[in-house]
């Protein structure tokens, strides 16, 4: 009994200490920001490897999910003779939910794991220590540009996902299933609200991008510098950030749409 | 030897990692302009000691004085500027994997000086010339052999002409030729640039051949220090076991356990 208590206590303290260190990393990396001159090219480089390289998987998944939504929506709505509303269904489910969440899950798997592995390997090969000895703060040089790149690229990726998804839904419903294109688009246009739907979706993706990048960077920094340690850290990044995304999605949805 | 001759002065250093005691009480001084070797079995904390000198780790108690300043009392900015006087060659080389050889050596110059691009280029080429790799400027670290990577890392460590250069196991994993090259290089650089060299190693013959001053760590303490000949003639059994590599002695071959007979017969 006492043992269990002691173990629980120690675990809680460890988790709290870890959270404290993660917060320190975040604040330190972000607050030292304006470091004009050399930080812009560093961020651009990370935007490429975090954002641009995730584009393909985002576009392909968005297309398929949009097409599936079109198909499913049509088969349900056609029973009520309201297949014109399929545009609304596709757009709302993408913009509000699927684009931010699925993009976040893909982003965690594609970019988050890569960030953790990269930083973990830099730690294991003493590149971080050697930056310190050269007189460069690794939190500034390595961590800050990656955090910013993650924050910036996640909302953009999520928007691209939604746009491609809507396109996929339109292709399926209009070209294959014969929904009248005028009503497809006009119903969508009149039902999707910029603030309630689009902006809320963007806010979600901002939050997800923030959390995933933070987790990924922190796990990389804290990883045990061996090949086993890095692989465990990479796994933790994907697991923790996926869980956080799903949990936060519920919280955010409740806050945003709960009182409607 | 007067105190002012010592670039690095370590006194009463204590350090624990979790429950484990790494340093019990280390007292050590490193004379200016000489090659000092810190030797000891694996896992005694030689790398840890170098990180303490560089201010990357903080001791539980005790002092590390480098060039008259207590490293661990410095604010971050002061520490970073003190580090410009120290070059460190890490065990793995630690070249930045996303930069070419040239960029790796140029990096400390770019971030720590206001030199023009042309001047930086000249300095980099001179440093690479000194380690014999001027022809390799455009290669990436992944294209280098282990020995070449370590020489590039050496060029990077001396890019800012530091007054102290620390080498973490520079000979480990080198073939005999690479080893010979590095031994000569370290000796030559020490003489021509006049900096203080600190070598951490357990390659006894190579280290004894170039070090002016040797210090052996074991069990969290300095068990012997002196010149190469003093170490060779040391009467301590631990020292003799270490420099001759006897498998058994004061440092036991067997990990602590119950007697074999007891375990077999249950
Ligand atoms: N980051 C770390 N966390 C916990 N223990 C460590 C860490 N780094 C080193 N150690 C332990 O400290 C001891 C000394 O390590 P080190 O200084 O690398 O030894 P050496 O360089 O002499 O082989 C080792 O026993 C090692 O297990
Ligand atoms: Mg070591």
B29 domain-assigned: yes
pLDDT at A64 over 50: yes
Give the mean model confidence (pLDDT) for residues B40-50.
86
% of chain A residues with pLDDT over 70: 97
Per the DSSP assignment, residues forming a β-bridge with B36 are B198, B213
Instruction: Spell B210-237 as b/e; 16+ CB within 10 A means b.
Output: bbebbbbbbebebbbbeebeebeebeee
The answer as to whether B148 is a domain residue is no
Q: State the pLDDT confidence band at B18, using cuts at 50, 70 and 90.
A: confident
Domain that holds residue B33: 1-85+165-171+194-266
Q: Which of A42, A131, A133, A145 to mutate to test the interface with B (most CBs of B within 10 A)?
A: A133
Please check whether residue B172 touches A, CB under 8 A: no
Top-ranked range on mean pLDDT: pick from A45-54, B87-96, B222-231: A45-54
Cβ B174 under 6 angstroms from ligand 1: no
- With 0-12 / 13-18 / 19 or more C-beta atoms within 10 angstroms meaning exposed / middle / buried, residue B206 is buried
Determine whether the interchain pair B88/A133 forms a contact, defined as Cβ–Cβ distance below 8 Å: yes
Q: Quick one: average pLDDT of B41-49?
A: 86
C-alpha angle with apex A171: A169 to A173, nearest 5 degrees? 65
For residue range A202-226, list pLDDT tens digits in order.
Answer: 999 999 999 999 999 999 999 999 9
Please indicate whether, in this complex, the C-beta atoms of A136 and B111 are within 8 angstroms of each other: yes
**Banded model confidence at residue B1, pLDDT cuts 50, 70, 90:** very low
Tokens for A200?
Answer: 């809320």
Q: What is the pLDDT of residues B170-182, one digit of tens each?
A: 888 777 887 888 8
Is B203 among the domain residues? yes
Q: Under a CB-based contact definition with an 8 Å cutoff, are residues A32 and A140 in contact?
A: yes
Would you state the pLDDT for residue B253?
Answer: 65
Are B136 and B152 in contact, with CB atoms under 8 Å apart?
yes
Look at chain B and report how many structural domains it folds into.
1
Inspect the interface and report whether the beta carbons of A130 and B83 lie closer than 8 Å.
no
Q: Atom 9, ligand 1: which residue's CA is nearest?
A: B48
User: Shortest Cα distance from A115 to chain B (angstroms)?
Assistant: 14
Q: Which residues of B touch A46 (CB under 8 A)?
A: none
Among A34-43, B19-28, B95-104, the least confident range: A34-43
What ipTM describes this predicted complex? 0.81
Q: What is the pLDDT of residues A75-112, one digit of tens each?
A: 998 888 888 889 999 999 999 999 999 999 999 999 99
Ligand 1 centroid distance, CA of B46 (Å): 8
- Whether B216 has a pLDDT exceeding 60, the answer reads yes
Phi-psi region of B213 (alpha: psi -120 to 50; beta: other; left: phi over 0): beta
Q: How far apart are CA A34 and CA B43, in angstroms?
A: 41
Q: Which pLDDT tens digit goes with each residue over A135-176?
A: 888 888 888 899 999 999 999 999 999 999 999 999 999 999
Averaged pLDDT, B86-108: 89
Spatial separation of the C-alpha atoms in residues A158 and A200, rounded to whole Å: 12
Asked whether residue B135 is assigned to any structural domain, the reply reads: no
Round to the nearest angstrom and report the end-to-end CA distance of chain B.
58
Are B80 and A135 a contacting pair at CB < 8 A? yes
3-state helix, strand, coil in chain A (%, to 5): 90, 0, 10
Average pLDDT over residues B239-262: 73
pLDDT of residue B226: 84
From ligand 2's centre to the CA of B201, what distance in Å?
Answer: 8
Of the pLDDT bands very low, low, confident and very high (cuts 50, 70, 90), residue B204 is: confident
Q: Quick check: is B183 in a domain? A: no
Q: Is A121 exposed, middle or buried (0-12, 13-18, 19+ CB in 10 A)?
A: middle
Task: Quote the pLDDT of residue A237.
Answer: 96
Q: Residues of A with CB below 8 A from B81's CB?
A: 135
CB-based contacts of B37, cutoff 8 Å, min separation 6: B198, B199, B200, B201, B207, B208, B210, B211, B213, B214, B215
Tell me how far apart the alpha carbons of residues A128 and B159 are, in angstroms, rounded to a whole number: 18
Ligand 1 contact via B48 beta carbon (within 6 Å): yes
Of the listed ligands, the closest to the CA of B41 is 1
Is B44 contained in some domain? yes
The reported pLDDT for the residue numbered B174 is 78
Count CA atoms within 13 Å of residue B183 on its CB side.
19
Identify which of B80, B83, B94 has the shortest CB distance to residue A127.
Answer: B94
State whether A125 and B94 contact (CB < 8 Å). Answer: yes
Residue ranges with CB less than 5 Å from ion ligand 2: B 47
Geometric angle at alpha carbon B178, from B173 and B180, rounded to 5°: 115
Q: What are residue B29's DSSP bridge partners?
A: B9
What Rg, from alpha-carbon coordinates, does chain A have? 22
- The reported pLDDT for the residue numbered B119 is 92
pLDDT of amino acid B263:
79
Would the CB of B202 count as within 6 Å of ligand 1?
no
pLDDT at A260: 57
* E-strand stretches of chain B: 6-17, 20-31, 35-39, 61-66, 69-70, 86-89, 164-168, 196-201, 213-218, 221-226
B16 Cβ closer than 6 Å to some ligand 1 atom? no
CB contact under 8 A, A137 and B80: yes
* CATH code, domain carrying B30: 3.40.50.300
Strand, helix or coil at B62? strand
User: Please, which residues 213-252 of chain B have a Cβ atom closer than 8 Å to chain A?
Assistant: none
- Answer for the pair A69, A89: CB distance below 8 angstroms, yes or no: yes
Cβ-contact B62, B224 below 8 angstroms: no
Kind and range of the H or E run holding A31: helix A2-31
Show the tokens assigned to B166.
């620390």
Least confident residue range of A72-81, B90-99, B135-144, B169-178: B169-178
Q: Indicate whether B238 belongs to any domain.
A: yes
- Please determine, for residue A34, whether its predicted confidence score (pLDDT) is greater than 50: no
Please state whether beta strands B164-168 and B196-201 pair in parallel, antiparallel, or not at all (unpaired): parallel
d(CA B193, CA B123): 14
Which residues of A have a CB under 8 Å from any CB of B? 121-122, 125-127, 129-137
Q: Is residue B129 part of a domain?
A: no
């Amino acid at each position: 009994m006492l043992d269990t208590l002691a173990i629980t206590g120690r675990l809680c303290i460890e988790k709290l200490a870890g959270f404290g260190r993660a917060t320190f990393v975040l604040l330190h990396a972000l607050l030292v920001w304006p470091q004009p001159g050399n930080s812009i090219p560093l961020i651009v480089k990370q935007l490429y490897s975090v954002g641009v390289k995730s584009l393909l998987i985002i576009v392909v998944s968005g297309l398929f999910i949009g097409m599936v939504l079109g198909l499913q929506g049509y088969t349900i709505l056609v029973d009520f003779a309201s297949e014109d509303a399929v545009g609304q269904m596709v757009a709302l489910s993408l913009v509000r939910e699927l684009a931010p969440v699925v993009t976040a899950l893909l982003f965690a798997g594609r970019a988050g794991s890569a960030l953790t592995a990269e930083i973990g390997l830099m730690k294991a090969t003493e590149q971080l220590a050697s930056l310190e000895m050269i007189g460069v703060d690794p939190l500034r040089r390595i961590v800050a540009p990656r955090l910013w790149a993650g924050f910036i690229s996640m909302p953009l990726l999520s928007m691209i996902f939604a746009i491609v998804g809507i396109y996929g839904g339109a292709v399926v419903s209009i070209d294959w299933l014969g929904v009248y294109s005028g009503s497809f688009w006009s119903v969508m246009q009149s039902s999707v609200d910029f603030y309630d739907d689009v902006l809320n979706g963007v806010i979600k993706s901002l939050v997800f991008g923030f959390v995933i990048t933070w987790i990924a960077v922190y796990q990389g920094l804290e990883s045990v510098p061996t090949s086993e340690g890095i692989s465990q850290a990479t796994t933790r990044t994907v697991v923790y950030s996926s869980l956080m995304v799903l949990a936060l999605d519920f919280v955010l949805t409740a806050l945003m749409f709960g009182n409607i | 030897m007067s105190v002012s001759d010592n670039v690095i002065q370590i006194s009463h250093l204590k350090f624990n990692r979790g429950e484990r005691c790494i340093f019990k009480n280390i007292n050590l001084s490193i004379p200016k302009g000489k090659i000092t070797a810190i030797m000891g079995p694996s896992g005694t904390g030689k790398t840890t000691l170098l990180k303490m000198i560089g201010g990357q780790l903080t001791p539980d108690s005790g002092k590390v004085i480098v060039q008259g300043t207590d490293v661990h009392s410095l604010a971050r900015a002061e520490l970073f500027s003190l580090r410009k006087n120290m070059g460190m060659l890490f065990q793995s080389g630690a070249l930045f994997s996303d930069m070419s050889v040239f960029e790796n050596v140029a990096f400390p110059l770019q971030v720590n000086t206001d030199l023009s691009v042309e001047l930086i280029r000249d300095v980099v080429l001179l440093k690479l010339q000194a380690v014999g790799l001027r022809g390799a400027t455009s290669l990436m670290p992944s294209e280098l052999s282990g020995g070449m990577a370590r020489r590039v890392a050496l060029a990077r460590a001396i890019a800012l002409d530091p007054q102290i250069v620390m080498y973490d196991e520079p000979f480990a994993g080198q073939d005999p030729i690479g080893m010979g090259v590095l031994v000569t290089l370290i000796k030559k650089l020490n003489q021509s640039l006049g900096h203080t060299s600190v070598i951490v190693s357990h390659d006894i013959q190579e280290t004894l051949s170039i070090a002016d001053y040797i210090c052996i760590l074991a069990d969290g303490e300095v068990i012997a220090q002196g010149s190469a000949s003093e170490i060779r003639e040391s009467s301590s059994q631990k020292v003799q076991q270490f420099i001759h590599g006897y498998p058994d002695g004061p440092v036991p071959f067997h990990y602590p356990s119950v007697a074999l007979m007891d375990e077999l017969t249950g």
